[in-house]
Structure formats: C-alpha cells, structure tokens
Structure 1
Amino acid sequence: MAAAALTLLVILVSIIITTLINKKRAAPAAAMHPPPPPSPPLRSVIANLPKIIFHSKPMFRWVHDVMKEMNTDICLIRLPGGGAANNIIPVLDPAIAREMLRKQDAVFADRPISFGSHAVSGGYVTTAAVPYNDQWRKMRKVLASEIVSPARHVWLQEKRDEEADNLVFYVHNRCMAGKCVNLRIATRHYCGNVMRKIMFGRRFFGNATADGGPGPMEVLHVDAVFAALDYLYWSCLSDYFPCLRGWDVDGKEKVIKEADETIKRYQNPIIEERIRQWRSGERKEMEDLVDVFITLKDDHGEPLLTPHEIKNQATELMMAAIDNPSNAVEWAMAELINQPDLMAKATNEIDKVVGKDKRLVQESDIGRLNYVKACAREAFRLHPLAPFNAPHVATQDTIVGGYFIPKGSHALLSRYGLGRNPKVWVDPLKFDPERHLRDSSDAEVALTEHDLRFISFSTGRRGCLATVLGTCMTTMLLARLLQCFAWTPPENAKTVNLAEAEDHLSLATPLMALPRMRLAPHLYPGN
C-alpha cells in the first residue's frame, strides 16, 4: 500500500509540475517557433495514464485511436514525470518519417535512457540501444566492417544452410508422425538456431534433440530474447519517473534483469571459454562470429573489444535478428493458409525457379523469388511485431513537417500506423502480396522499404546493418516451408484465426498447421 501511495503521489505531483511548465513555455515558444504537433486533450492522457504506464509502453492502440480521432499523422503526447517518455511524438506519415531519418538523420540519431536498454546493453557498450556517442561509433564500425560485411556473410553461408536443412528435418519429422506444427516454435527457433550457429558455432546449448526441435535450454533462451525485447523501452515505472529507479515499484525491473540474465547465462560461458582458448593458444582458427570479436585488434595490437563488450554485443545481435523474420513468416503462413490461391502462386514460383523434385531452395535462388519476397514484404507491412520503431531522440530543437520539435523529444515511427495508413495504401487491411509487384519498377523485389511506407529494416544512421542477413533468413524460412510442405489448418478447423493479441501485434495464439509432404522423399534431410 505504501508503494502504491507513493507512486500515485509522484504521478499527481508530476502532472501538476509538467502542466505548469508547459503553460509557462507555451507563450514564448509560440512567438519563437512554429507550433508543436497537435496534442490529444490532457484529460485523455490522464485517463489513460495507468494503461500507458503499467501496460503497453505506451499503450499503442490508444495512441493510434486518438490520432485517428484527431485526424493527424503526427502528434505530441506529453507524459508527466520529465523522464524518458516526457515528449512522445508518434509518426504515421512516410514523408515526415523520411524527413526525420534522411534529411535530419543526425538530429534524430540519439536513443533514450531506460532501465531495459541499460540492462541488455551492459551499461550502453553495444550499438542499437546506445546513445549517440563515441562508443556507438566504435561498435557500429566493428559491426559494419567485421561482422555483417559481404565477405563475412559469404563465409557463414554453410552454417545458415545447415539450419535451413534442420528446419525441414524438424517439420518433416512432425509430418511423418501426423502431428501439427507449431509454426511459432518452428520460425522462432529456426532464427535462434541460425544466430547461435553463426555466433557460437552450435545449434544447441545442451544436448541435441532427436527430431531437430529446440531443447529446454533453447526454449528458455529464445523466450528470454523476446521478453527482453518487450521490455526494452517504457516498460518500467522508473522510465517515466527516474527518481523511482532501483525501487522496482511495479516489478518490471526484476523481469528485465531475469530475461537478461537468462540470455547471458547460456551465452557468456561459451564466450569466456573461447577467450581462454585464444589467449592460451589452444584455438588458432576462426570459425564463427565470437572468434571474430575476440581476435579484433586495435592499432597497438591489443584486443579491440573487452570481454564485457563482446558478451553484451552478442546479446544485442541475438535480440536484433530473431524477432522480425520469425514474426513475419508466422503471419505470412497464417495468411497464405487462409488464401490457398496465394499459397499456390508462391509454391508455383518456387517450383519454376528451383525445379520440382530436383533440389531444395537455396540462398542463390532468393533474387528470383519475387512473389515469395512479396509475401514477406506484405507481412512486414501489415503485421509488424513491434508497434513502433526503436525511439529516436532529438538532439536539438528542430522543425519537421512544419512543426516545432523540442530537443529531447522521442520520435516514434509507427510500424503499425505507417503500414496501415489508408492515405498510403489501398485497402490497407487486406493481405495482398501483389501490391508489391505492381508498385515495384525494379526487376527484383527487395524486403527493404527505402521510402518508409512501412518498416522492415530501418534506415539512416540507426538503421539495420544486417539487411542482407535479415533478407536471407526471412526468405529462406518462408521458401523452405512453402516448397517442402503443403499446409492446411488443423483438423476440425476450416481457417486460421487471424486475431491479434491485445497488447502486442503477434497472433493471439501461436499458429498451428498440418503439413503434408509435397516433394520426393529423398529430398528431405535425414532420409
């Protein structure tokens, strides 16, 4: 009761202080600058504070509903507390998004401070969650030149190929047993397997499973990755009220710590042992990305990265690579199962490019699988995993779209709103892969969307460096599932339920589907 009373008191005092400060600033700001983006009524913000603070970081459905009521594609939501989420600026307009991440990229290159981002980045020693500073420049240079470079991508292809085969092996085993496949498990753990293989040179932390599926350790590892992602920004009460940091009034700090500790409990011992092997001379050849990190040298021949940096950057790479491909493919499969004619077009394309019963689809085929990639693009557009992109913090006062944006404001590009904006997309709630074939003047469909009409891999200084890896993982995952198996809803079900979860954008229930072999038996790995 005492903690709840203290929390309520802090919120009420913060509302009063914030309101007075905003009123004091309003007159001179109006004289000096264009107006800020329109704001929802204060009563609406106050009425929704409990949900914003305690549930959905901030509650994205309320944000989009209120912007729809205001008929605006940009707004300014002032939250009390003066902390990490004081000024939130959601953006649903691609033109404004492009202005922020292209024309004013340097202005919006910073990241906010939050309990979650501090925890998973090891105190901001990584890349994606780190403020715009020298540490970010150092780590981004390492990733661009040494980790996700074209040469490194080719070097790691064999490991990715192994996991594409293991995916088919796992689903085939379920198929032969006459069992449904939980495609959330299949997609998430394919992505987890790829990242563990290229990072640590192994698929399993424990013993291999007979059917190729994840073991208990792998399940805990991937679940922790998704939990950490869910709590990265605006999850803790202390993100809104920094004076409460360490008190863990709402219990969220404990959740984040446990997720981070779970990830590192499985990863760090491997990294520590590998460092010992290199230092002792026992290990002499690089086999995976951990080896690359360890063997990097500075200008004086000393290790470029500390063990702490390596461990936390490995965690961030895991978090960056597993979520989007797995979610997009789970949604794409759900939509395609409900529209068999679209699934037939995708499988027919694969058969035409690869040849029916000749071989399994490979990464070298991706450039010619335009319809398959159009299905993935449409899933990224309509069904993003996160409602917002990682926040961009304005490093100075600026003007965007004719509106004044105060320094320190947090710009949130809405993945949900951009992809479903009716001013941009015809029939935006319809899953229509062919819209990307009609809209593209290029010979090859790409999963990237440079005009920011939706977000698959972000752009600018804070954009995703590993778009090639993400494209390969997404396309191979979807193509192998479609090429190797015919899919139907579970017995006694005519269609897949496409309902979204209430507090996030994944399917409300994991996708269950029944596979049937569609290739010659000798093509399935293990036969």
Structure 2
Amino acid sequence: GRAMDLVSASATPQALGLLLLFFLVALHLAASSSGAEKLRSKLPSPPFKLPVIGHLHLVGSLPHVSLRDLARKHGPDVMLLRLGAVPTLVVSSPRAAKAVLRTHDHLFASRPHSAVGDILSNGSTNVALAPYGDYWRRTKKLVTTHLLAARKVRSNRAAREQEVRLVLARLRAAAADTARTAVDVSELFIYFANDVVCQAVLGRLPREAGRNQMFRELLEIHCKLLGGFNLPDYFPILARLDMVTAKAVKLKRRWDDVLDDLIDKHASKMANDDEEEDFIDVLLSVQQEYSLTRDNIKAILVDMFEAGTDTTYIALDYAMAELMRKPQAMAKLQAEVRGCATKGKEMVTEDDLGSMSYLKAAMREAMRLHPSGPLMIPHLSVADCGVEGHTIPSGTRVIINVWAIGRDAASWKDAEEFVPERFMEEAMDATCDLQGNDFRFLPFGSGRRMCPGISFAAVTFEIILANLVYHFNWELPEGSSSVDMTEEFGFDVHRKERLLLVPRVPHHL
C-alpha cells in the first residue's frame, strides 16, 4: 500500500497499469550482469527491495528525513538505493560529500536526465540542469558575470532598498491597526524575494499591474512539478505517458507567452541607451557571443526567477520562525541591529550591515538547519571512481543529503537546536562560511555545480531581516502559543503553514 501511494502521487491509472507491462523489463535490468551492476552490488544498500519499484516504498513524504534514517542503518557515508529503474547513490557524511564535490568533482559535475526538467528548461539548457560541458560553462560564466557577481549585486542596491521601503510601509499600516491584525510574513517574504529578482532581471520595464504576481503563480506550479519523486525520473520509459509531463508542457507554453513578450519589449527598447541595463538586455546583447538561442535565453531566465526567489524566501521564513521560537535570540539580534543603525533611521541600509555579525550568524544557522534544497539537485557520475572505499560506477545518479549533513550530531554540538552563537567570532564553527569549503555545511553546495548566487541571496536576506527586527517587535497572534515547523517537500522544502505574526512599533522608535 505505501509503495503504491508513493507511485500513484504523480501517475495516472493507465500509467500504473503500464508498470505491470514493464515488469519483465525491470526484472531483466535488475538482474543485469554488467560490470557496473557488479560494482553497485557491492555498495551498502537496504535489503528491502521490491520488484519494479526497488526501494521507493522506503522513501516517505519527507525524503530527506527518510534517507537520513536509512543511511544511519545501511550507510552511513554512502548508500545505494534502487529508485524504480534508477540506481541512486545517497551521500550523507561530510567526508563522502568532499569526495564527490571536491576530490572527484570533475567526475560528478554532470546532471542526470529529467523528463520534466527537460520540458521546462528547453532541453535542460539552463544553468542548474544543463549537462556538464562547454554549454554549461558558458552559461554559468554569463550568469555569474552579468547578474550574480558582487559588483553587479552592489549595483542593484537602490532597487533592493526600494523594495524594503514598500514592505516597511505595508507593515507600518498593519502595526497601526488597533485590531492587532496578524501579517502573513511568509507571503511577505515570497513577494519581497520575487520582486527583488524581478527588478534585477526586468528592471528597465515599468512594473505592469499583476506581472510579478503572475511570476509567483508560475513559479509555484513550476516548483511543484519539478519537486518530489516524479515517475518519469525513476521510470524513464513512462515519460510520454505521465500526467506530470503533460502538465509540464502546458506550463512551458505559459512561460513562453510571458517571456517572449518580455524579450520582444526589451529588443524594441534596445535603441534607448540612456537607461540602466537589466539582465534581459545583457542576454540579448551577448546572444551571438555566447551562441544562445531564444529558447536558451528563456531557460536561463526561468532558472534565475526560480533560484533567486525560493532560496531567499525559505531562508527568511525559517530564520524568522526560529527567532520567534527563541526569544533570547530575537532579543540579541534586535539589540545588535538597533545598536549598529542610528536611532530613528528611515531604514537600515546596506552600509549598516557589515558590522552585524549576529545577523550573519542567524542566517547561517537557519540555512544549516533548513537548507532550501535539502537533497540538492542530483549529480551524475561520468566515470568509475572511488568514494569512501567503494567504487562508484559511471552513470550512477548521486543525491547529497545536505540536510542530514547539517544536522549530524558527530559534526555539530546540539545539532537540532537553533544556536546562532556557534557561528560567532571565536566560536568553534566561526570559520564555517557559505562558500562550500566546510563540507559539514553546504547550503549552496560546493565545487563546479555550486550555486553562484551566494552574494545575491545573502544581501537580500540581510537587508530585509535587519529592517524587520529594527523597526518592529513581533508577537504571535492571540491564541497562538508556538510556530508550527512541519515541513512540506518539493523542489525546495518549506514550512507547511504560513507564518502569521503581529508587528508592533517599539516605543523608542
């Protein structure tokens, strides 16, 4: 029953019936005596494998938790699972992660094929899903240089601070309400993160009514389709028959309509050189140099919207939720921010952020406990190589459980607790930063496929959280005694319930 529940989540009744037709094929593949299969047979693996679905029945509704628990029994460093027809190596320790992401990085830097990802990213031609090679190197260089480099992030400062002002105006109105109405802080963070990304990517176009809202809606559907354990990824033979791929084709058409319109508008305005360039302008201006088709440009744009919105929103939401659960941490953060910024300021600016070490520690601690992509995007081995005494054959899908690594009691004191102090100067983990050099802590990954948006995400996180705790004291709604931390799994993991809080303007402000 549990296995069928999992599989049926993204399957039509016809697809489920077809599983039986492929029964003999799957058995034949499982019994293959190839050299790769012989190597895989020597890897640690749970014994409870079923015909056709393999170990899928052992993966629960929160796969990062299920895989952590399985690795404790059958790993612990590496563990092979048969997820449908796909052999998948699960990496659950800092040592094994270092072997994959640094020692043998060049052999694990590619991506496995994803039927849904292929549709949504125009043949996997975005930065996140493109196979390792010349095209990926070109697009990563383009995105890093023209959107995510520290210099470019600094140049977007005015737009970011304007978005902060809009949030503060909305919160002041809510705080003035004598009914003590709660604000949906989760929604506020989603809107803010998305609007900041839209400004960086689409800046020169006036904000049309409802456009950013439409992006949020498309991204929500996008993440749901990419997230979870989609049947075509684990039974590739079903790709043409699955409802998820049909929905992906429909969503792709919607993206095309929106992005073609935006690209056309930018192309028609290119003659006006007086305006500041945004990212679409850049893509059009270097299209020939980087050998990009229009479909490539659209794939890269969707990638930037998705990555830039979700990583920041999820980190902010979890940080605020943890601070509400730990009033002493909230008080410490507020004391720091209010001490670093001049009393009575209209807003905390990015000039003020440099001295806020507890703010940065709180961000890292939120990302340690709650990485937005707890299993990262899967890697693919392109040659046989050794990891922790085992030979991993070419063609093996690799999942790195950064959530489990970040909560490993062998690596972290009070591993399940929100303790920003661990990252403060002179603390044991003070040197542990976001750059992927400490393999106990990988919120942005490491190696060649590391997320290039660290500077963008960090300053976006810091500027809004600093202002929220500077200008307001925060309370739970009347009748609420705690924050529900229940998770929901998808392309990124987020809290299931919205964070509702009451903002209060402190007397000294």
TM-score (norm 1): 0.85
Cα 1:190–1:319 change in 2 (3 A) is same
Q: How far apart, CA to CA, are the structure 2 residues paired with 1:129 and 1:485?
A: 40
1:65-76 matched pairs, under 5 angstroms: 65-70=69-74, 72-76=76-80
Counterpart residue number, 1:197? 199
Cα 1:49–1:13 change in 2 (3 A) is farther
Counterpart residue number, 1:524? none
Cα 1:399–1:104 change in 2 (3 A) is same
1:252-401 matched pairs, under 5 angstroms: 252-278=244-270, 281-282=271-272, 285-296=275-286, 298=288, 305-401=292-388
Q: How far apart, CA to CA, are the structure 2 residues paired with 1:335 and 1:497?
A: 10
Offset of 1:516 from its aligned partner? 0.8
Cα 1:88–1:47 change in 2 (3 A) is closer
Q: How far apart, CA to CA, are the structure 2 residues paired with 1:176 and 1:110?
A: 53
Cα 1:179–1:414 change in 2 (3 A) is same
For 2:49, give the aligned amino acid: R
8 Å Cα contact 1:371-1:433 kept in structure 2: yes
Moved more, 395-404 or 359-368: 359-368
**SS of the residue 1:75 aligns to:** strand
Offset of 1:204 from its aligned partner? 8.0
**SS of the residue 1:439 aligns to:** coil
Residue from 10, 18, 23 that aligns with 2:29: 18
Deviation string 1:126-153 (CA, Å, 9 cap, x unpaired) is 2111001221122112123222233322
1:169-184 matched pairs, under 5 angstroms: 169-177=169-177, 178-184=180-186
Offset of 1:430 from its aligned partner? 0.9
1:23-38 matched pairs, under 5 angstroms: 25=35, 29=39, 36-38=42-44
Counterpart residue number, 1:94? 94
Residue from 62, 67, 82 that aligns with 2:66: 62
Cα 1:479–1:13 change in 2 (3 A) is farther
Offset of 1:481 from its aligned partner? 1.6
For 1:170, give the aligned amino acid: R
Deviation string 1:353-406 (CA, Å, 9 cap, x unpaired) is 113323522222322111111111111111123330111111100001111101
Q: How far apart, CA to CA, are the structure 2 residues paired with 1:489 and 1:162?
A: 27
Are 1:136 and 2:123 matched, yes or no? no
Residue from 466, 486, 490 that aligns with 1:499: 486
**SS of the residue 1:231 aligns to:** helix
Deviation string 1:197-240 (CA, Å, 9 cap, x unpaired) is 11111798542xxxxxxx5x534422432432343366432222
Provide the aligned length of Structure 1 versus Structure 2: 492
Are 1:5 and 2:17 matched, yes or no? yes
Cα 1:148–1:500 change in 2 (3 A) is closer
Gaps of 5+ in 2: 1-12
Q: How far apart, CA to CA, are the structure 2 residues paired with 1:519 and 1:153?
A: 35
**SS of the residue 1:224 aligns to:** helix
Cα 1:520–1:272 change in 2 (3 A) is farther
8 Å Cα contact 2:53-2:84 kept in structure 1: no
Moved more, 355-364 or 323-332: 355-364
Are 1:245 and 2:234 matched, yes or no? no
For 1:150, give the aligned amino acid: A
Offset of 1:123 from its aligned partner? 1.4
Counterpart residue number, 2:6? none
Residue from 428, 432, 436 that aligns with 1:439: 428
Counterpart residue number, 1:211? none
Offset of 1:253 from its aligned partner? 1.5
8 Å Cα contact 2:77-2:388 kept in structure 1: no
Offset of 1:45 from its aligned partner? 8.4
Counterpart residue number, 2:150? 150
Cα 1:71–1:290 change in 2 (3 A) is closer
8 Å Cα contact 1:235-1:252 kept in structure 2: no
Cα 1:257–1:347 change in 2 (3 A) is farther
Are 1:518 and 2:503 matched, yes or no? no
8 Å Cα contact 1:382-1:429 kept in structure 2: yes
For 2:143, give the aligned amino acid: L
Moved over 6 A (4+): 44-48
Counterpart residue number, 2:461? 474
Offset of 1:414 from its aligned partner? 0.7
Q: How far apart, CA to CA, are the structure 1 residues paired with 2:165 and 2:423?
A: 29
8 Å Cα contact 1:366-1:475 kept in structure 2: yes
Q: How far apart, CA to CA, are the structure 1 residues paired with 2:216 and 2:456?
A: 19
Offset of 1:270 from its aligned partner? 1.5
Offset of 1:15 from its aligned partner? 3.8
Cα 1:440–1:357 change in 2 (3 A) is farther
Q: Over the residues paired in the alignment, what is the CA RMSD in angstroms?
A: 2.8
TM-score (norm 2): 0.88
Are 1:229 and 2:223 matched, yes or no? yes
8 Å Cα contact 2:315-2:363 kept in structure 1: yes
Deviation string 1:338-364 (CA, Å, 9 cap, x unpaired) is 221110000101011113323522222
Q: How far apart, CA to CA, are the structure 2 residues paired with 1:413 and 1:449?
A: 13
Cα 1:514–1:267 change in 2 (3 A) is farther
Q: How far apart, CA to CA, are the structure 2 residues paired with 1:508 and 1:28?
A: 42
For 2:106, give the aligned amino acid: A
Quote the sequence identity (%): 26
Deviation string 1:274-329 (CA, Å, 9 cap, x unpaired) is 11332xx3565443111122222656xxx853332222211111111111111111
Cα 1:72–1:205 change in 2 (3 A) is same
Q: How far apart, CA to CA, are the structure 2 residues paired with 1:27 and 1:429?
A: 37
Offset of 1:411 from its aligned partner? 1.5
Deviation string 1:30-73 (CA, Å, 9 cap, x unpaired) is 9xxxx8430111436877756579x86x9443322222222513
Q: How far apart, CA to CA, are the structure 1 residues paired with 2:291 and 2:323?
A: 47
Offset of 1:441 from its aligned partner? 4.6
